[in-house]
Chain A
């Protein structure tokens, strides 16, 4: 099956700083990737759809200036949490679907202190 990786797997940062999370498709090209956020003991919330070479599409209620998405190549999408605050602490997961099946990255746990 297709492999999606994320880096880092966990990160701790101070309030007010920015954090970048990478999502890579290792054995396929992905023109579209998805970013999800998962709160403890809750389901996944789709944040945005990342489109290679164009602007991301954000879901309603997600601040695009807060969560910057860049999809600069067919194998890499990045999510930057700008001016992070403790309420941004969460588990962030990316996915891609080379066929009619989505493959998920292992997730990145962000803790903002």
Chain B
């Protein structure tokens, strides 16, 4: 079946550190890939997405590249801020389907 695996958290970094959150997937079809962010007490917000191989999604300094050969969609940011503290979810959506498949989430804490 379709599934998403994220690196386990929690992840704690200092401000201005480099961030990588790993995400790999298995899919029977040809998925679109997403990163969602959930701030404390809030719902999910779309952070970035990529719909085909080699696409790079980017937003707010975050980037992720759709790597079909490694079935990965790792999230990166060059210099994190305290305001980036949140839970990050990797997800996939199979073309023609409507249900998102989520990873388990990675809690990120940035210390000043």
Contact = CB atoms under 8 A, between A and B. Distances in A.
Interface of A: 1, 6, 32, 34, 41-44, 46, 49, 93, 95, 97, 100-107, 109
B50 to A, nearest CB: 12
B60 to A, nearest CB: 14
Given A41-B107, A42-B104, A43-B104, A49 B46 contact: no
B42 A43 contact: no
A9 B43 CA distance: 10
Q: A-B pairs with the 7 shortest C-beta distances? A: A104-B44, A106-B43, A107-B43, A104-B43, A43-B104, A43-B105, A43-B102
13 contacts: A1-B46, A32-B98, A34-B100, A42-B104, A42-B105, A43-B103, A44-B89, A46-B99, A101-B49, A102-B46, A104-B44, A105-B43, A106-B43
B46 A101 contact: yes
Given A1-B46, A44-B102, 11 more contacts: A6-B43, A41-B107, A43-B89, A93-B44, A97-B98, A100-B95, A102-B100, A104-B45, A105-B43, A106-B43, A107-B43
A59 B46 CA distance: 24
A93 B43 contact: yes
Nearest to A1: B46
Interface in B84-112: 89, 93, 95, 98-100, 102-105, 107
B90 to A, nearest CB: 10
B51 interface: yes
A44 B102 CA distance: 7
Contacts of A34: 98-100
Given A32-B98, A34-B99, A42-B105, A100 B44 contact: no
